[in-house]
Structure 1
């Protein structure tokens, strides 16, 4: 905001000197970028630190999962609890980084929306849905979280569904899906079709799945369309969409599998 204000003042000052329109526009653009550059540079530094921190935390979690899978006899529930603790710590740390972006809010128009978007995503992942809904309530012209990312849009659709607002979910879906190409709309198609199945609108679900098959080519949509077309509603599943589907917390993910202990044929496992 301040960047725009300063640039406007520079342009007005130049206009008062009788300068041509070309130089006034040039001065406005130049001031906008010169003032905004150090702000963007400092913001990028914080965002990069956030990215590195989250990648490191995710790497540690992935290593724990692999160790668990390769170690027979482990306690599955204990492992899941540990991963939940690690994820919670990572997201809370991420929210602290977002707080560091607050001083930049007054400098650019979109910074506030970027902050709202990140907070919404992190609160959703923390399952603090009340806080996530409070952020969504601020949505408006140039306000609230941005829905450019399919995952963010899917999170908003999921909150609409959980709050018994199917019409709201449909509105977000229609507005966002028109700007997706290729497989970028996979999660949105999967979520919208799942919602229709849950409320018993199978014709609408098939319609969405038909479009999803054409647009993405994902086998999950082909199978689900066949299931619904042959009255096998109970076999409808978005498990094929992987982690991005389960990260919406609408269904429980499968339990991680462990490797079984291999034993020699006809021999005692101790070698006797």
Structure 2
């Protein structure tokens, strides 16, 4: 099956899932990523992979059973996005999704610091999810029209899922922000905690210039992002934070990480590193 066939089928039916195996099959028919496209796909895939790892922690720990299921499903969606993107990124140099997920060092990852932030309490997780899912929704909406058919198909599928992620986070923001005095305080504190990490998501790089028509220019998403999030916060009786942005140590997406990335990877990669090549 060619990737063009997968792309067409996906756009005809929202319920048709693309598997990583189908993507790999399409790549073997000549749909390989250029070095620049691979770097771009790797950046998006790393964001999804790290956030999936963070959200998976909530399974059996969420405040109610329905949230165990909801956060687990969101984590699985993000893991699926990561698999598609890492599979495509690896096509540039013959690496597999597992090679990229489990056998890169902390400095080789390109995840944004927002997704690396600790879960904190439930409000902090929701605040992080609200900001990231709104960004991801706008990103994938635009990326679905990419001149790169593989990226376009991945984005088209991911968009249907992040639309739910965004709605889920929005509903919880409204519920907590406009709830009790305590829930309001915690939600406001959570928004202020994650807000400094936004700038990194919307900063253009030379890579985006080289991938004009293929990648989405992050700065083009900022105005709509700000307007939507401001509306959600207003409806939740929350204030838009007036806090400084975190410094981009080492440059945007340079591999500079938050202090949390190494601990996330140590947990995520431990089994694969200890037993390379193992299957079950």
Please indicate, yes or no, whether the TM-score normalized by the shorter chain is above 0.5. Answer: no
Bigger radius of gyration among the two: 1
With normalisation by structure 2, the TM-score equals: 0.29
With normalisation by structure 1, the TM-score equals: 0.30
